[in-house]
């Protein structure tokens, strides 16, 4: 009986959490698409500077990681394919795996580490130092002022980063292909473009937008619900990272299943 109660409480807690994320996302959508027409302008400058932080400054580390993952993928694929004498399929395997799955996922993981945690730390510190209360007493909605630019930056930058990660991943694979599998740069590129359908890239990008929304919602929610004290800020950051990782995988599973059954 007690176990049933515990399970029930966990499920209710989980649903309430997802509900509060959805509420935060809805409010941010309102302040992005509706409020500007009611005299509450978007903070474009802030959104652009957030986009620089989330996107441009993530490029070096994302490039390295996705390049290495592409290379690893080619190495692991070749291990099996060479037994079948089918090393020429490497380009196809790397291209599809990277664009449909690993590109968006690696980008999301890098962004969680860099930006999801930073959102939680920034808003958590502002909560502790009463800056968020100060905004409220000045009749400035903290979600419009602080959260909406972050959503905008993430929704725009995650697909861009994902395209870059796809490119770098494929480049990583091609290094192996050219050096070890009788490809030339031109033939590897040709094999990749032949294997890829627009659908592969688009499904990856749709996933990346959903990841962006998830990471921002969790980071901001954890930051805004920080209790008192510096210790709580640290706890919020940890929770933001762990919950974002988990939810990104869940969202990935849901969308991959959806794309699988819709052909």
Partner 1 sequence: MAAMHSQFADDFSGKTMISVRDLRVRYGEREILHGVNFEVKHGETMVIMGGSGSGKSTLLRALVGLEKPSAGEIWLKGKDIATISQEELDDIRKQIGMSFQGGALFGSMSVRDNVALPLREHTELEESTIEIMIRLKLQHVGLTGYEEYMPSQLSGGMKKRAAVARALAMDPEILFFDEPSAGLDPIIAAGIDTLILDLKRAFRMTVIVVTHELASAFLIADRMILIDKGNIVATGTKEEMKANQHPRVRQFLDRVPEPEVAQELDYLQMLTEDVRVS
Q: How many chain residues interact with partner 1 (CB under 8 A)?
A: 12
Residues in 138-157 that interact with partner 1 by CB under 8 A: 138-140
Q: Would you count residue 38 as binding partner 1 (CB under 8 A)?
A: no
Q: Would you count residue 130 as binding partner 1 (CB under 8 A)?
A: yes
Interface residue with partner 1 among 53, 101, 131, 232 (CB under 8 A) is 131
Q: For residue 12, give both structure tokens.
A: 């209710």
CA distances from 25 to 113, 125, 144, 155, 237 (A): 20, 21, 11, 12, 19
Q: Would you count residue 134 as binding partner 1 (CB under 8 A)?
A: yes
Interface residue with partner 1 among 4, 85, 137, 228 (CB under 8 A) is 137
Contact region for partner 1 (CB under 8 A) — 135-143, 184-192, 204-212, 244-252? 135-143
Contacts of 85 (CB under 8 A, 6+ apart): none
Q: For residue 53, give both structure tokens.
A: 């932080």
Interface residue with partner 1 among 10, 23, 76, 129 (CB under 8 A) is 129
Q: Would you count residue 45 as binding partner 1 (CB under 8 A)?
A: no
Minimum gap (Å) between residue 8 Cβ and partner 1? 20
Q: Would you count residue 9 as binding partner 1 (CB under 8 A)?
A: no
Q: Would you count residue 133 as binding partner 1 (CB under 8 A)?
A: yes
Does residue 107 contact residue 254 with C-beta atoms inside 8 Å? no
Spatial distance between the Cα atoms of 156 and 149, rounded to a whole number of angstroms: 11
Q: Indicate if the alpha-carbon torsion angle 26, 111, 253, 210 is positive or negative.
A: positive
Spatial distance between the Cα atoms of 33 and 29, rounded to a whole number of angstroms: 6
Residues at the interface with partner 1 (CB under 8 A):
125-126, 129-131, 133-134, 136-140
């Amino acid at each position: 009986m007690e176990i049933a109660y515990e399970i029930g409480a966990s499920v209710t807690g989980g649903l309430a959490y997802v509900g509060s994320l959805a509420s935060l996302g809805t409010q941010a959508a309102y302040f992005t698409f509706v409020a500007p027409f009611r005299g509450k302008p978007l903070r474009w400058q802030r959104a652009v500077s957030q986009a620089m932080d989330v996107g441009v400054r993530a490029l070096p580390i994302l490039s390295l990681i996705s390049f290495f993952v592409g290379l690893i993928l080619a190495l692991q694929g070749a291990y099996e394919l060479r037994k079948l004498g089918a090393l020429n399929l490497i380009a196809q395997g790397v291209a599809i795996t990277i664009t449909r799955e690993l590109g968006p996922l690696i980008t999301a993981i890098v962004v969680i580490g860099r930006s999801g945690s930073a959102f939680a730390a920034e808003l958590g510190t502002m909560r502790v130092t009463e800056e968020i209360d100060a905004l409220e007493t000045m009749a400035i909605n903290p979600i419009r002022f602080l959260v909406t630019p972050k959503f905008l930056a993430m929704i725009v930058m995650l697909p861009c980063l994902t395209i870059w990660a796809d490119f770098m991943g494929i480049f990583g694979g091609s290094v192996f292909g050219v050096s070890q599998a009788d490809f030339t740069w031109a033939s590897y590129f040709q094999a990749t473009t032949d294997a890829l359908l627009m659908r592969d890239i688009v499904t990856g990008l749709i996933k990346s937008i959903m990841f962006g929304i998830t990471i921002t919602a969790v980071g901001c929610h954890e930051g805004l619900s920080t209790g008192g004290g510096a210790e709580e800020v640290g706890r919020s950051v940890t929770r933001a990272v762990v919950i974002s990782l988990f939810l990104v995988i869940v969202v990935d599973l849901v969308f991959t299943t959806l794309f699988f059954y819709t052909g």
